[in-house]
Chains A and B, each alone.
Chain A
Amino acid sequence: MKTIFLVDDSATILLSISGILTKAGYGVEKASNPQEALKKFQAGAKVDLLITDLNMPGMNGIELIREVRKLPNCRFMPILFLTTESEQSKKAEAKAAGASGWIVKPASADELLNTIKLVVR
């Protein structure tokens, strides 16, 4: 089973996306803040995809992507970030930090799963 790691400070988003992913047969790990996620990856966690929000208190998603990319266990892990139409300018920055792509919120289940299929084999 493919495992997806989900990071978002919004409990609503965590719940809804993990619901969609679980139903689609993915394993889901969750973190409500980037620090917790980073710690798990630093401890050697290996997953098939990381999905992170960008706008979070303390450490933003772009920093998380940049830090995670440096880790040997995450070098080839696809990373998607959650963004909105109003945050277009962040895309380039996040991609430069090492993100593979993005999901525009709010996304339908189909959009979400299709996008995931793009990066998870």
Chain B
Amino acid sequence: MDEITSVFVTESREQLEAMEAALLQLEDNPDDADILGAVFRAAHTIKGGAGVIECGFLVAFTHVVESALDKLRNGEITANADLIALLLACSDHMGHLIGVLESGTAAPGGDLQTDGDALLARLQRDWLSADAVGAAAAPAPKAEPVLSSGGGAVETDCWHISLRFGPDVLKNGMDPLSFLRYLTTLGRIERIETLADAMPAAEEMDPEACYLGFEISFSSDADKAAIERVFDFVRDECALYILPPRSRLADYMQLMAALPEDSMRLGEILVRVGALTQAELDEGLRTQSAGTEPDAAGEPHPAAPLGEILVEQHVVQPELVEAAVVKQKQVSDKKAADARLIRIQADKLDRLIDLVGELVIAGASVNLLASRAGQADLTEATSIVSRLVESIRDSALQLRMVQIGETFGRFNRVVRDVSKELGKDIELVITGGETELDKSVVEKIGDPLMHLVRNAIDHGIEPPEVRAARGKPPRGRLALNAFHDSGSIVIEIVDDGGGLNRDKITRKAVERGLIASGQSLSDNEIYGLIFEPGFSTADRVSNLSGRGVGMDVVKRNIQSLRGRVEVSSTEGEGTRFSIRLPLTLAIIDGFLVGAGAASYVIPLDTVVECMELQAVTTERNYLNLRGEVLPFIRLRNLFEIDGERPRRENVVVVRAAGQKAGIVVDQLLGEFQTVIKPLGHLFRNLRGIGGSTILGSGEVALILDVQALAQLAAKGEETSLSHNQTGRNSLAN
């Protein structure tokens, strides 16, 4: 695909998204001129671009859509649900056509063509047909005046062009000569006479005004419309008469009458340019002066009124438009801020961020060497460098940050379509659309989100009758929300539907052998079961969800982004899914700790505090943090590091997803900019480790997955506690 086509494809997809969003807005505001304008503009831009890259099938389809939108914009038809649905279908089809273009196929396949034709037929039949006839009739070419009298044809093979430029031509930036030059691209100017008759005396002459006229004898194969088009730009301010070869003498006479100059003088000129012979001129003049028939003279269009109309236009136009300008001004000021964007290929950004990552690693090793050398000024210089590197890192990552709003926006359509299909009435509420996260994360979160949204519509929100029976408003509510929370982004999908059914899930889990019957589980654990592979509580498989490729895939996708998904629910009131994702997949601020000879990185944003581990009084792994129970784990135990524990151990208190835990380490080594290198496939299922990084010394350090560790710490405590209890119980028995 060449560059321009790929630019077009990207641009058109954006335009289609804008068009779709505007169409959806139109449902609620069918008369809003701004929205109508936006829809039209999107189609218009796509058609324009398609024309440029000569993609005929897309032009043809979009043209009809654009016509309908134009009618809509002009208020000739009004948008209703049918039309909007049809236009949405058309915009989908345009998306398919762009896909065809992208794939490099010359024309859409049979099915696609049939679909497109069907859509166009519906547009034509229901929305364009009645008016289409009228519209076609309206711009019918003006009939050329036909003269009924006036002798035979003039013997010449040349066109005759009479041209009188208006006084403002020069002021408007036009050079009369350039039109004559342009004319020669169509044929040959055989003869030309310049008329300066309109030129006033020197003291009255306006040096900026044009007083010139031309009589031209022109040989060309072009048709009259083409010749006229040459003068398009000055058409309404100049007098132009074009007589085809072999025009009737009467036509010339009429021409002479129409022109401002004296007939006798004009006649001479016509003879001089070879348009007429002297004999023809004489005959013509004789007929004219003798002309008793009132129609023969056919009152010509005097040139003066044209000028007057023009003046009028100049006076009226600014005022007319001024009001509209003021109104649009406020809108445009706001939009101007949005519009200052630069388009950059994503690969280039990725490359930059890779390089910044390498820079960070290289910087760390320079720091290390500097501190070993122990030279104060060297250490100072490197610390400035590393501060700058840090800023560069942040700015570079910022470049790749995009708002999640665009992703959310896509769900308007999904919710609308799916709820219609299911006969439900659902309102989508979007908040926090301006929350930013890394583009690479945004790209991958779309599918899991889509699945959760569809699930909420299909299984979560009840049909209107059921809702009414339960005393809820018949219109369901689905909310998408996003916000930042300690270095992560949290995305919530909240519905006000029936909620998860504890008993049903438990029953199903027992059936599937996921849990033993009679096993008592907390609410969270039960809800967590829906993420197990092959788990579906849907009794029937609907068109949308319940096909078994379910929540476990969602969970896996989110985990592959180093994220977590959690669910909470109240039966009868609704369900809330929260997805917690890291803001970026590339570089983080880390906290470096040591255990044995190895170093580990804890993401800095999860660190709450650090302190010395006081003598632990019990065998159990928790400590008293100012009256709070803090479960902890020892890295030495976790990673089975041999050797003597140091005299002094430290605890790093971390918090993840609302849970606090302690991580016991040997040494605290301080903050460290961490470039995340993903672990290989082999380690995909390893819990507790989120990745690896390279230290300044060239050694590898593992990055701890704090949330998993915190859970592990809490769970470890829980199990040991319940073991103790069962132990005690069995003893009692």
> Hey, which bits of chain A sit against chain B, CB under 8 A?
9-13, 15-16, 19, 32-33, 35-36, 55-60, 62-63, 66, 76-79, 84, 86, 88, 92-93, 95-98, 100-102, 105-106, 114, 117-119, 121
Say yes or no: B233 contacts A117, CB within 8 Å: no
Q: How many residues on chain B are close to A (CB under 8 Å)?
A: 50
Chain B residue at minimum C-beta to C-beta distance from A96: B317
28 of the cross-chain contacts (CB-CB < 8 Å) are A10-B45, A11-B343, A12-B7, A12-B12, A12-B48, A13-B48, A32-B339, A32-B341, A33-B336, A35-B336, A36-B339, A36-B340, A57-B41, A57-B339, A58-B336, A59-B328, A59-B335, A66-B321, A78-B174, A96-B317, A96-B318, A100-B173, A100-B174, A105-B51, A105-B52, A118-B174, A119-B178, A121-B175
Say yes or no: A96 contacts B314, CB within 8 Å: yes
Whole-angstrom CA separation of A76 from B170 in the bound complex: 9
**Given A78-B173, A86-B66, A106-B52; A95-B236 close (CB under 8 Å):** yes
Q: Interface centre among A13, A77, A92, by most B CB within 10 Å?
A: A13
Say yes or no: A13 contacts B182, CB within 8 Å: no
Whole-angstrom CA separation of A117 from B185 in the bound complex: 11
Other contacts beyond A15-B7, A106-B52, A119-B174: 6, CB < 8 A: A9-B45, A11-B10, A16-B53, A93-B317, A97-B321, A101-B232
Say yes or no: A57 contacts B38, CB within 8 Å: yes
B4: which A residues are within 8 A, CB to CB?
Answer: 12, 15-16, 19
B45: which A residues are within 8 A, CB to CB?
Answer: 9-10, 55
Chain A residue at minimum C-beta to C-beta distance from B177: A121
Chain A residue at minimum C-beta to C-beta distance from B185: A114
Say yes or no: B173 contacts A86, CB within 8 Å: no
Say yes or no: B335 contacts A119, CB within 8 Å: no
Whole-angstrom CA separation of A6 from B340 in the bound complex: 16
Contact with A along B34-59 (1 / 0, CB 8 A): 00001011001101110111100000
Choose among B139, B172, B332 the residue that contacts A58 (Cβ–Cβ < 8 A).
Answer: B332
Choose among A12, A78, A117 the residue that contacts B49 (Cβ–Cβ < 8 A).
Answer: A12
A63: which B residues are within 8 A, CB to CB?
Answer: 325, 328, 332
Choose among A15, A58, A117 the residue that contacts B181 (Cβ–Cβ < 8 A).
Answer: A117
Q: Interface centre among A12, A57, A101, A117, by most B CB within 10 Å?
A: A12
B174: which A residues are within 8 A, CB to CB?
Answer: 78, 100-101, 118-119
Q: Interface centre among B139, B232, B331, B336, by most A CB within 10 Å?
A: B336
A97: which B residues are within 8 A, CB to CB?
Answer: 317, 321
Whole-angstrom CA separation of A9 from B49 in the bound complex: 11
A54 to B: closest C-beta gap in Å? 10
Whole-angstrom CA separation of A102 from B332 in the bound complex: 24
**Given A32-B339, A58-B336; A12-B8 close (CB under 8 Å):** yes
A9: which B residues are within 8 A, CB to CB?
Answer: 45
B264 to A: closest C-beta gap in Å? 34
Whole-angstrom CA separation of A100 from B179 in the bound complex: 13
Nearest 9 A-B pairs (CB), nearest first? A101-B233, A12-B49, A106-B51, A58-B335, A96-B317, A35-B336, A58-B332, A12-B8, A59-B332
Say yes or no: B328 contacts A100, CB within 8 Å: no
Say yes or no: B332 contacts A114, CB within 8 Å: no
Chain B residue at minimum C-beta to C-beta distance from A59: B332
**Is B3 an interface residue, CB under 8 A from the partner?**
yes
A36: which B residues are within 8 A, CB to CB?
Answer: 339-340
CB under 8 Å from chain A, chain B span 470-509: none
Choose among B233, B336, B343 the residue that contacts A118 (Cβ–Cβ < 8 A).
Answer: B233
Chain B residue at minimum C-beta to C-beta distance from A76: B173
A7 to B: closest C-beta gap in Å? 12
**Is B11 an interface residue, CB under 8 A from the partner?**
yes
Say yes or no: B182 contacts A57, CB within 8 Å: no
Chain A residue at minimum C-beta to C-beta distance from B3: A15
A59: which B residues are within 8 A, CB to CB?
Answer: 328, 332, 335-336
**Is B729 an interface residue, CB under 8 A from the partner?**
no
A38 to B: closest C-beta gap in Å? 9
Chain A residue at minimum C-beta to C-beta distance from B11: A11
B331: which A residues are within 8 A, CB to CB?
Answer: 58
A32: which B residues are within 8 A, CB to CB?
Answer: 339, 341
Choose among B52, B67, B139 the residue that contacts A16 (Cβ–Cβ < 8 A).
Answer: B52
**Is B251 an interface residue, CB under 8 A from the partner?**
no
**Is B730 an interface residue, CB under 8 A from the partner?**
no
A59 to B: closest C-beta gap in Å? 4
Chain A residue at minimum C-beta to C-beta distance from B47: A84
B328: which A residues are within 8 A, CB to CB?
Answer: 58-60, 63
Say yes or no: B321 contacts A13, CB within 8 Å: no
Chain A residue at minimum C-beta to C-beta distance from B337: A35
Say yes or no: A77 contacts B173, CB within 8 Å: yes
**Is B292 an interface residue, CB under 8 A from the partner?**
no
B8: which A residues are within 8 A, CB to CB?
Answer: 11-12
A33: which B residues are within 8 A, CB to CB?
Answer: 336, 339
**Is B313 an interface residue, CB under 8 A from the partner?**
yes
Contact with A along B115-152 (1 / 0, CB 8 A): 00000000000000000000000010000000000000
